[in-house]
Amino acid sequence: MTYLAKPKLHHPDLPKNALGLTRRDYEGTISTLCAGCGHDSISAAIIQACWELAVQPHRVAKLSGIGCSSKTPTYFLDKSHGFNSVHGRMPSVLTGANLANRDLLYLGVSGDGDSASIGLGQFAHSMRRGVNMTYIVENNGVYGLTKGQFSATADRGSKSKRGAVNTDEGIDLACLAMQLGATYVARSFSGDKHQLVPLIKGALTHPGAAFIDVVSPCVAFNNHEGSTRSYDYVRHHNEAVNSLDVITMHKEITTEYAPGSVQEVRQHDGSVLRLRKLADDYDSSNRISAMSYVQSHYARGEIVTGLLFVEPEAIDLHEHLGTTMRPLNELGDKELCPGSAALAQFNASLR
């Protein structure tokens, strides 16, 4: 339905952010996904998060692979350049784009088929490299566009709409991301905007590989009895370990919490992640205990959500490679071409 233009008029009193932009300035075209699709809620959360952070829309590059989730970048941030790449290969395209210009914000949007099935390798290696990005998987456990086949994140024992039982083990991308060295790992639910928006803000301000697994029910093919990705199932099994508040460097910290109940994490850019604990025994600064917690709760049928792990002193790929602070795409002949004198010396060394 992209041919339906959104009305350009909007209410004059819509709130404006620090850039003087309204939420409408962060929207895209009308979604063509099914009514009630979790992915649309995630697009809305992305819009909200970018608006709240007062991100300049054109300084975001949004990239995706193939599938329902990968269509969504059209539905937000229409001032941004978008790239709908090939199935499962968004991470490499994003990595290359990031290498070319380290000054933009990189938002990768993918699905469970795109990232856990065909694209598991690229997902894994982009985490290992520490690409500075926000990588969101809109996880519904099913192939929507091809009508209901299981994806690699579907839980063993869960039932398809046609009644088939999944016999393969499900992949937990959040746990994998933690194991592979991502420095910001979260899980949320498309139906919980209050939890999701701050997690996206935290990821966007995080200076390294940030990954968010968002459980996002598929109303057409995976919202039935027996599914572990339905709205009902997720609501009943969601166990949030913390709630996050992201305070950008410009904002004054005003809210007060009882001592010990709040953990503050200061990131490179000066932003502060303020974490309010919901589970006493959860420590989001410890990669190993976090993985153990998430997996032991999974064994009990619970879906742990919240900011699962954060490493504030993240080092990204550019730091590993020692690249110049100037975007590589701004360098010209002068910086790049050694010239004929250097070539003459090279020739001389070969005789």
Question: Counting every residue, how long is the chain?
Answer: 351
Considering only 49, 50, 61, 176, the residue that binds other proteins (CB under 8 A) is 61
Is residue 81 at the binding interface for other proteins, with CB under 8 A as the rule? yes
State in angstroms the smallest separation of the CB of 125 from other proteins. 4
Is residue 342 at the binding interface for other proteins, with CB under 8 A as the rule? yes
Return d(Cα 218, Cα 37) in angstroms, integer. 6
For 87, the token pair is 């199935």
Q: What single string gives the DSSP state of each residue in 207-243?
A: SSEEEEEEE--BTTTB-STT-SSSHHHHHHHEEE-EE
State in angstroms the smallest separation of the CB of 92 from other proteins. 3
C-alpha separations of 15 from 59, 184, 247, 315, 334 in Å: 21, 30, 19, 36, 46
Q: Looking at residues 302 to 321 of the shown chain, list those that interact with other proteins (rule: CB under 8 A).
A: 317-318, 321
Taking residue 223's Cβ as centre, other Cβ atoms within 10 Å add up to 20
For 179, the token pair is 């194991």
Binding segment for other proteins (CB under 8 A), chosen from 41-49, 140-148, 220-228, 334-342, is 334-342
Is residue 79 at the binding interface for other proteins, with CB under 8 A as the rule? yes
Torsion of CA 160, 155, 304, 222, to 10 degrees: -10
State in angstroms the smallest separation of the CB of 93 from other proteins. 4
Tell me whether residue 193 or residue 268 sits nearer to other proteins (CB atom). Answer: 268
Is residue 190 at the binding interface for other proteins, with CB under 8 A as the rule? no
Considering only 18, 165, 249, 343, the residue that binds other proteins (CB under 8 A) is 343
Is residue 157 at the binding interface for other proteins, with CB under 8 A as the rule? no
Considering only 10, 59, 156, 251, the residue that binds other proteins (CB under 8 A) is 59
Binding segment for other proteins (CB under 8 A), chosen from 77-85, 140-148, 174-182, 260-268, is 77-85
For 129, the token pair is 């490299």
Considering only 78, 239, 245, 283, the residue that binds other proteins (CB under 8 A) is 78
Is residue 176 at the binding interface for other proteins, with CB under 8 A as the rule? no
Is residue 125 at the binding interface for other proteins, with CB under 8 A as the rule? yes
Binding segment for other proteins (CB under 8 A), chosen from 192-200, 242-250, 271-279, 328-336, is 328-336
Considering only 44, 46, 63, 307, the residue that binds other proteins (CB under 8 A) is 63
Q: Provide the 8-state DSSP code for 136.
A: E
Is residue 58 at the binding interface for other proteins, with CB under 8 A as the rule? yes
Return d(Cα 92, Cα 105) in angstroms, integer. 16
State in angstroms the smallest separation of the CB of 320 from other proteins. 10
Q: What single string gives the DSSP state of each residue in 99-123?
A: HH-TTSEEEEEEEHIIIIITTHHHH
C-alpha separations of 190 from 42, 72, 169, 208 in Å: 6, 14, 23, 23
Contact (Cβ atoms closer than 8 angstroms) between residue 124 and residue 182: no
Torsion of CA 66, 139, 233, 161, to 10 degrees: 30
For 314, the token pair is 């993240």
Is residue 4 at the binding interface for other proteins, with CB under 8 A as the rule? no
For 342, the token pair is 């250097």
For 254, the token pair is 């005003």
Binding segment for other proteins (CB under 8 A), chosen from 119-127, 210-218, 276-284, 291-299, is 119-127
State in angstroms the smallest separation of the CB of 87 from other proteins. 8
Tell me whether residue 177 or residue 240 sits nearer to other proteins (CB atom). Answer: 177
Is residue 288 at the binding interface for other proteins, with CB under 8 A as the rule? no
Q: Which of 63, 192, 200, 204 is nearest to 132 (CA)?
A: 204
Interface ranges with other proteins (CB under 8 A): 2, 56-59, 61, 63, 73-74, 78-86, 89, 91-101, 103-104, 121-122, 124-125, 129, 317-318, 321-325, 328-329, 331-333, 335-340, 342-344, 346-347, 350-351
